[in-house]
């Protein structure tokens, strides 16, 4: 069996892969939902927009479910603490996501303008709210979350919901929202034509520029603002059993930049985030839509990777009890659990990727108004 320290690193990487997979696959569905009321003028155009993602959105949401399940199984302390501290935020995400299945299923069941417009805005909420909240959550992780543990390792969140909505976290939410909207816009431009495609292009380009400005602004804020990072100041035994209270942690203004100073190649991640977004904007404007979608996906990899690399080995820092901060080394499951999960992932993840690729290949091509008219009773 693979040794325990290596499995801890592998699962940090695999959780990252699942988060990136969720952002790329379900992210473009959410981005399309965010753009739906603005790129579709009239019922027929909005049905075109919905049908670009209708056959795939539920399959893509598997990445979200799998990511949550992986965190639960691989990082149980992180799962429990996050759902305690971010309880109302997580509920808001779930409430927003409820609009997606009922919106897709019920929206076109009744030929009534008010009914359909209401569900269009419901799909907008289901697409726009989750990325915003996820970005706000990441912004709070970079600042530290106010929680601690008692003698029985029971976590207690000492903050409030409104504390989560601080200026830096909201800026991180703008980054997340803009990059998902950009990603959805490039996908929509690839699957449509005519006036819908033109509006999707404008949306993608605008979102890409907002993402770059907000991303650079967040980086400068971390560098020159009053946000302190976290650094472990005691010796760590990577092979030790999980115990988040077995270390000492200090706060430092340059802590989140330490990994970048030690490993200069990590600067390729923020560069990829910026270059990918600008390339996506340029390519989609030139109607090279498939290349734009790939560039947009790479931008997502760069942005998410930038945050992960800055925080490593921290997963969930604590602002009220720094020594209780959860890291890759001390918040994981047992050696046996990580090993069994690794081999299961090695078998099943390629199957998911293969099936997803096959489904997209079968349903490739442009969605047009003529297609909607010809499939009135089967299209969304």
Query: What pLDDT digit, counting tens, does each position of 219-268 carry?
Result: 999 999 889 999 999 998 888 888 888 899 999 988 999 999 999 999 99
Q: pLDDT at position 303, please?
A: 97
Compute the distance between CA of residue 330 and CA of residue 309 in angstroms, rounded to an integer: 18
Task: Tell me the mean pLDDT in the region 294-307.
Answer: 97
d(CA 73, CA 7): 13
Mean pLDDT along residues 346-364: 88
Q: What average pLDDT does range 19-46 have in this prediction?
A: 93
CB of 365 closer than 8 Å to CB of 52: no
pTM as predicted: 0.93
Q: What does the pLDDT read at residue 369?
A: 82
- Cβ atoms of 123 and 107 within 8 Å: the answer is yes
Detail the DSSP E strand segments found in the chain: 147-149, 155-157, 229-232, 249-252, 314-316, 326-327
Tokens of 59: 């399959």
pLDDT at 140 (0 to 100): 94
Integer Cα distance of 48 and 133 in angstroms? 28
Per the CB < 8 A criterion, the answer to whether 146 and 163 are in contact is: yes
Nearest to 192 by CA among 287, 300, 127: 287
Nearest to 14 by CA among 351, 342, 327: 342
Q: How confident is the model at residue 365 (pLDDT cuts 50, 70, 90)?
A: confident
CA–CA separation, 81 and 92 (whole Å): 17
pLDDT digit string, tens, across residues 140-155: 999 999 998 888 888 8
* Mean of pLDDT values over 39-53: 91
Give dist(CA 107, CA 109) in Å, integer: 6
At 292, the pLDDT band (50, 70, 90 cuts) reads very high
- Mean pLDDT value of segment 201-217: 97
Other C-beta atoms closer than 10 Å to the C-beta of 303 total 29
**Confidence band, pLDDT 50/70/90 cuts, at residue 137:** very high
Residue 378: per-residue pLDDT: 66
How confident is the model over 24-41, as a mean pLDDT? 94
User: What is residue 270's predicted lDDT score, i.e. its pLDDT?
Assistant: 97
Strands 314-316 and 249-252: unpaired
Q: Rounded to a whole number, what is the distance in angstroms from the first to the last CA of the chain?
A: 48
Judged against a pLDDT cut of 70, whether residue 215 lies above it is answered with yes
- Residue 267, token pair as written in the block: 């600067």
* 379: confidence class by pLDDT, cuts 50, 70, 90: low
Q: In the numeric block, which tokens belong to residue 54?
A: 């209708």
pLDDT at 176: 97
CB atoms closer than 10 angstroms to residue 302: 22
Cα 245 from Cα 205, distance rounded (Å) = 46
Please, what is the average pLDDT of the chain? 92
């Amino acid at each position: 069996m693979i040794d325990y320290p290596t499995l801890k690193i592998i699962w940090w990487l695999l959780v990252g892969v699942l988060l990136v997979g969720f952002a790329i696959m379900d992210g473009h569905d959410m981005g399309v939902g965010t753009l739906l009321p603005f790129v579709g003028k009239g019922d027929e155009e909005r049905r075109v927009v919905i049908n670009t993602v209708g056959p795939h959105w539920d399959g893509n949401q598997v990445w979200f479910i799998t990511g949550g399940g992986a965190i639960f199984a691989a990082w149980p302390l992180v799962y429990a603490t996050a759902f305690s501290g971010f309880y109302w935020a997580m509920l808001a995400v779930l409430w927003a996501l409820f609009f997606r299945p009922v919106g897709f299923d019920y929206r076109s069941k009744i030929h009534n303008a008010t009914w359909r417009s209401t569900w269009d805005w419901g799909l907008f909420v289901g697409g726009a709210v989750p990325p915003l909240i996820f970005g706000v959550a990441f912004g709070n992780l970079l600042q530290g979350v106010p929680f601690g543990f008692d003698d029985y390792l029971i976590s207690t969140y000492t903050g409030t919901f409104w504390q989560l909505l601080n200026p830096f976290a909201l800026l991180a939410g703008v980054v997340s929202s803009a990059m998902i909207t950009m990603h959805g816009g490039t996908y929509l431009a690839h699957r449509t034509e005519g006036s819908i495609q033109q509006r999707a292009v404008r949306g993608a380009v605008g979102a890409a520029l907002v993402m770059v400005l907000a991303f650079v602004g967040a980086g400068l804020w971390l560098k020159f603002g009053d946000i302190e990072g976290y650094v472990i100041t005691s010796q760590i035994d990577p092979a030790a059993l999980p115990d988040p209270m077995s270390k000492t942690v200090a706060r430092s203004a340059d802590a989140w930049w330490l990994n970048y100073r030690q490993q200069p190649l990590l600067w390729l991640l923020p560069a990829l985030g910026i270059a990918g977004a600008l390339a996506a904007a340029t390519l989609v404007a030139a109607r090279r839509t498939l290349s734009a979608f790939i560039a947009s996906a790479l931008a997502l990899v760069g942005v998410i990777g930038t945050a992960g690399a800055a925080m490593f080995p921290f997963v969930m820092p604590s602002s009220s009890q720094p020594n209780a901060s959860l890291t890759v080394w001390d918040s994981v499951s047992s050696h046996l659990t990580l090993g069994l999960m690794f081999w299961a992932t090695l078998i099943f993840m390629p199957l998911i990727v293969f099936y997803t690729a096959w489904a997209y290949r079968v349903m490739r091509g442009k969605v047009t108004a003529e297609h909607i008219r010809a499939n009135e009773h089967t299209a969304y």
